[in-house]
Amino acid sequence: MTGLAHGGERRARGKPVMMDVARLAGVSHQTVSRVLNEHPSVRSETRERVLRAMEELDYRRNSAARALVTNRSHTLGLVTFDTTLVGPSSTVYAIERAARDAGYFVSVASARSLDEGSVANAINRLREQAVEGIITVAPMDSALAALARVPADIPLVGIGVGEAMGVPMVSVDNIAGAAMATKHLVDLGHATVHHISGPPEWPETRERVTGWRTTLRQVGAPEAPVLSGDWSSRSGYEAARMLASDPDVTAIFCGNDQMALGALRALHEAGRDVPTEVSVVGFDDIPEAAYLLPPLTTVQQDFAALGRASLELLVEQIMAGVRTQQHMRFPPELVVRESTGR
Amino acid sequence: MTGLAHGGERRARGKPVMMDVARLAGVSHQTVSRVLNEHPSVRSETRERVLRAMEELDYRRNSAARALVTNRSHTLGLVTFDTTLVGPSSTVYAIERAARDAGYFVSVASARSLDEGSVANAINRLREQAVEGIITVAPMDSALAALARVPADIPLVGIGVGEAMGVPMVSVDNIAGAAMATKHLVDLGHATVHHISGPPEWPETRERVTGWRTTLRQVGAPEAPVLSGDWSSRSGYEAARMLASDPDVTAIFCGNDQMALGALRALHEAGRDVPTEVSVVGFDDIPEAAYLLPPLTTVQQDFAALGRASLELLVEQIMAGVRTQQHMRFPPELVVRESTGR
DNA sequence: TCTGCCGGTGTGAGCGTTAACACTGCCACC
DNA sequence: GGTGGCAGTGTTAACGCTCACACCGGCAGA
């Protein structure tokens, strides 16, 4: 009696297994497996019968058993930091879609904070799940550091993580983007361009600073110190407020659109008109940029393309079984609207 | 010879298994399992030895084998639609963090389009992965329809999906929120309030319309037809452009902040000052809202709380083994800034 | 006619883990 | 001084699947 009750306990809600389907279709479990895996040598009549049986029982294969025996989880890991930001969230979205098309599931793990331990922890959680590869959408230095410690046998791609030792990477060409923005302002006749950057511990921030600074040097314009924010509108607002009182400030290049938005507000409060008195350029081209007051000139980056490319790079590595050394940089594009003028 | 080479083939990169750890620590694999699962009856000295061995081999448990035998995947599924929107993306973020704290992994599947099939497909992919429960962050009707078809033995929570037949749900109280916004405008002395809504196939849209309409009726104000957008700034801009030319329009309640942002621009272009001539209220309180020109009065909802609550509800169901009938509604809060006045 | 091969199918083993149960000392209790 | 129990450990059998191989009949080529 106990034996009976107990024997039935294990298999929870009597979920059908391959053997049940096989029995119903009058074949062996192996034939069911072949149908499931689209093996060619199954008579089409048999296949039909099996498919009908699967349908009838609402059978679905046990992915754990499959993973156990094939040693493949068909799952990719995504490390994110703050998906509230527009860039990362669009990128994640694109990755998920591409992964599904490539036949992979996507598991996400977010890093709690900026430090390396937190990123390493996220990576570990993913590894525990036996993901076949990892993409980090966490473009700060700590992520790169954590990535560098991951054993070489697990495929990896970092997005916007900066050039480094053996970690394949995908990003937009921030230097070129910042140069375009700066050049645009200089060409408009501004004596120099001020810069409100993102947090310095983001490689993208430093690259944009480099692009900005290099351009300024090329044209022999004076270089004001960089003010750095945290990507938020608030920080852009605060930084711009300091700049607004200085009549020499006539052009501001912001590290992203949110900060530019904050800057726009600060300038407005200070009574300095954009673009007649001060020009502002952002970075990213968020969907709202075209509807700000005034519409924001900005550097557009294609987050979806970034996501797709990173996935492609990852899948390539999984197939090849070797870690690529590849770096991919996408060219951004300047979108001129009405926040810049002379 | 062949036998030998072949025997080694299967286990890919010689990843250590429990038995390897056991051997190194001089115990049985079962003891290793006990250490891993924090079983109390292991001598601490033994535990130490095992832990050292695990460390030395960089052992990590095979989650597929574990899932196979325990019949638990420790994974939750997330169905998303467009994580580019601020609400969903913040919610997803909060869910992931809460899930991790509760000891679950998170797997995401996005619905490609608005139709039910697409959502059903995402749910199916998740079920194939044997997730223990599913949360949908896809607040449109099609999601509810797809959710309603999911067998009752799999725990479920829909976010913002509207009241319905046996699907546990979490959302903000949209009716109350819209009522607050409308009341605020009426109290300011506006004869009536116009509404630019989201897409009608989103329950939240209809609830907000209801809250707006009910309030108008309560005070006996005339009801203008609803203009509906698609949540984007562009759509808000276009809708508001139609309204801007009508001098009777003095107050606009927008279905979200992005559309309000677009409306602000349209009004500016039409030469109608906000707030002296026209008042505008948004919904969501995105981080940028406080930095718009003028700072936007809006209805704040706590997306993170929504995410946490949905997870809690889901875990509860998993533990209990029954689907709850619970609905949770969170009260929103009106944040008055400078886009409203008399 | 026999051999060989190939399409179509079944059989058995094994993936790495946990659960159940068995076993060994040792201590407490009557 | 037996009996019981319990902490600490080992042994064995699943879990549901895929892989390798065996098998069977038929058809082509010798």
Instruction: Tell me the per-residue pLDDT of A158-168, one tens digit each, with 9 for 90 and over.
Output: 999 988 778 89
Instruction: For residue B262, give the nearest of A92, A96, A291 by CB distance.
Output: A291
Gap from A41 CA to C10 C1', Å? 14
Asked whether residue A276 carries a pLDDT value surpassing 50, the answer given is yes
Residue type, A342: R
Q: How far apart are CA B48 and CA B71, in angstroms?
A: 29
Nearest to B313 by CA among B82, B30, B76: B76
A31 Cβ contacts chain C strand, under 7 Å: yes
For residue A12, the model assigns a pLDDT of 45
Size of interface A-B (CB pairs under 8 A): 155
Asked whether residue B1 carries a pLDDT value surpassing 50, the answer given is no
Q: Which residues of A touch B12 (CB under 8 A)?
A: 71
Confirm if B51 and B27 have CB atoms less than 8 A apart.
no
Quote the minimal CA–CA distance from A229 to chain B in Å: 15
Q: How far apart are CA B232 and CA B222, in angstroms?
A: 27
Strand, helix or coil at B259?
helix
C-alpha atoms less than 13 angstroms from C-alpha of A266 in its C-beta half-sphere: 25
Bases of chain C below 7 A from a protein C-beta are 7-12, 14-21
Residue type, A258: Q
| Residue A11: pLDDT band with limits 50, 70, 90 | very low
Taking the CA atoms of chain A, what radius of gyration do you get in angstroms?
27
Instruction: Tell me the per-residue pLDDT of B36-81, one tens digit each, with 9 for 90 and over.
Output: 999 988 999 999 999 999 999 999 999 999 999 999 999 999 999 8
Residue whose entry in the numeric block shows the structure tokens 């980056």: A301
Judged by CB atoms closer than 8 Å, whether chains meet at B93 and A106 is answered as no
Instruction: For residue A105, give the nearest of B93, B129, B237 by CB distance.
Output: B129
Residue whose entry in the numeric block shows the structure tokens 């109350």: B176
For residue A94 the two structure tokens come to 């694109």
For residue B12 the two structure tokens come to 């890919």
Quote the minimal CA–CA distance from B239 to chain A in Å: 13
Taking the CA atoms of chain B, what radius of gyration do you get in angstroms?
27
**CB proximity list for A14: less than 8 A, separation 6 or greater:** none
Tell me what the pLDDT averaged over chain A comes to: 92
Judged by CB atoms closer than 8 Å, whether chains meet at A287 and B93 is answered as no
**Sheet holding A75-80: strands in order across?**
A327-330, A169-172, A156-159, A133-137, A75-80, A105-110, B105-110, B75-80, B133-137, B156-159, B169-172, B327-330
A268 Cβ contacts chain C strand, under 7 Å: no
Instruction: Tell me the per-residue pLDDT of A20-45, one tens digit each, with 9 for 90 and over.
Output: 999 999 999 999 999 999 999 899 99
Q: Identify the closest residue of chain A to B113 by CA–CA distance.
A: A97
Instruction: Tell me the per-residue pLDDT of A74-84, one tens digit each, with 9 for 90 and over.
Output: 999 999 988 77
Q: Which residue places its CA closest to the C1' of nucleotide C9?
A: A31
Instruction: Tell me the per-residue pLDDT of A184-199, one tens digit each, with 9 for 90 and over.
Output: 999 999 999 999 999 9
Judged by CB atoms closer than 8 Å, whether chains meet at B82 and A67 is answered as no
For residue A202, the model assigns a pLDDT of 95
Judged by CB atoms closer than 8 Å, whether chains meet at A261 and B292 is answered as yes
**CB proximity list for B125: less than 8 A, separation 6 or greater:** A100, A105, B109
For residue A82, the model assigns a pLDDT of 82
Nearest to A341 by CA among A187, A139, A150, A166: A187
Gap from A65 CA to C23 C1', Å? 32
Gap from B111 CA to C8 C1', Å? 39
Gap from A99 CA to C9 C1', Å? 35
Confirm if A313 and A157 have CB atoms less than 8 A apart.
yes
Nearest to A163 by CA among A147, A183, A150: A147
For residue B285, the model assigns a pLDDT of 97
E-strand ranges in chain A read: 75-80, 105-110, 133-137, 156-159, 169-172, 194-197, 227-228, 251-254, 279-284, 297-300, 327-330, 333-335
Q: Are strands B75-80 and B133-137 parallel, antiparallel or unpaired?
A: parallel
For residue B17 the two structure tokens come to 């298994």
For residue B152, the model assigns a pLDDT of 87
A100 Cβ contacts chain D strand, under 7 Å: no
Instruction: For residue B237, give the nearest of A58, A128, A291 by CB distance.
Output: A291
Judged by CB atoms closer than 8 Å, whether chains meet at A10 and B93 is answered as no
Confirm if B148 and B162 have CB atoms less than 8 A apart.
no
CA–CA distances in Å: residue B1 to residues A111, B9, B12? 48, 13, 19
A43 Cβ contacts chain C strand, under 7 Å: yes
Q: Which residues of A touch B90 (CB under 8 A)?
A: 84
Tell me what the pLDDT averaged over chain B comes to: 92
Q: Are strands B251-254 and B75-80 parallel, antiparallel or unpaired?
A: unpaired
Strand, helix or coil at B289?
helix
User: Choosing among B84, B86, B106, B238, which should be mutated to test the A contact, i.e. which has the most A CBs within 10 A?
Assistant: B84
- The predicted model gives A226-250 an average pLDDT of 97
Judged by CB atoms closer than 8 Å, whether chains meet at A129 and B12 is answered as no
**CB proximity list for B167: less than 8 A, separation 6 or greater:** B144, B147, B148, B156, B158, B161
Nearest to A81 by CA among A106, A126, A112: A112
CA–CA distances in Å: residue A245 to residues A12, A269, A278? 70, 11, 11
Nearest to B116 by CA among B161, B172, B86: B161
| Residue A47: pLDDT band with limits 50, 70, 90 | very high
Instruction: Tell me the per-residue pLDDT of B137-165, one tens digit each, with 9 for 90 and over.
Output: 999 999 999 999 998 889 999 999 988 77
A11 Cβ contacts chain D strand, under 7 Å: yes
Q: How far apart are CA A221 and CA A216, in angstroms?
A: 5
| Residue B2: pLDDT band with limits 50, 70, 90 | very low
For residue B12, the model assigns a pLDDT of 45
Q: Which residues of A touch B270 (CB under 8 A)?
A: none
CA–CA distances in Å: residue A73 to residues A107, A128, A309, B28? 11, 11, 22, 27
Instruction: Tell me the per-residue pLDDT of B86-133, one tens digit each, with 9 for 90 and over.
Output: 889 999 999 999 999 999 999 999 998 889 999 999 999 999 999 999
First to last CA, chain A: 90
Instruction: Tell me the per-residue pLDDT of A220-229, one tens digit each, with 9 for 90 and over.
Output: 999 999 999 9
For residue B299 the two structure tokens come to 């209805």
Strand, helix or coil at A108?
strand
For residue A152, the model assigns a pLDDT of 87
Instruction: For residue A265, give the nearest of B80, B109, B291 by CB distance.
Output: B291
A63 Cβ contacts chain C strand, under 7 Å: no
Instruction: For residue A73, give the nearest of B64, B261, B290 by CB distance.
Output: B64
How is residue A28 annotated by DSSP?
A: -
pTM listed for this prediction:
0.91
Longest dimension (CA), chain B: 92
Asked whether residue B7 carries a pLDDT value surpassing 60, the answer given is no
Quote the minimal CA–CA distance from A281 to chain B in Å: 16
Judged by CB atoms closer than 8 Å, whether chains meet at B83 and A86 is answered as no
- The predicted model gives A223-247 an average pLDDT of 97
Instruction: For residue B110, give the nearest of A80, A97, A153 by CB distance.
Output: A97
Gap from A59 CA to D26 C1', Å? 35
First to last CA, chain B: 90
Buried b (16+ CB within 10 A) or exposed e, B122-144: bbebbbbbbbbbbbbbbbbbbbb
Bases of chain D below 7 A from a protein C-beta are 7-12, 14-21
Q: How far apart are CA A143 and CA B117, in angstroms?
A: 38
For residue B248, the model assigns a pLDDT of 95
Strand, helix or coil at B95?
helix
Instruction: Tell me the per-residue pLDDT of B186-200, one tens digit each, with 9 for 90 and over.
Output: 999 999 999 999 999
**CB proximity list for A250: less than 8 A, separation 6 or greater:** A190, A191, A277, A278, A279
Confirm if A185 and A251 have CB atoms less than 8 A apart.
yes
Asked whether residue A2 carries a pLDDT value surpassing 50, the answer given is no
E-strand ranges in A7-132 read: 75-80, 105-110
Q: How far apart are CA A16 and CA B150, in angstroms?
A: 17
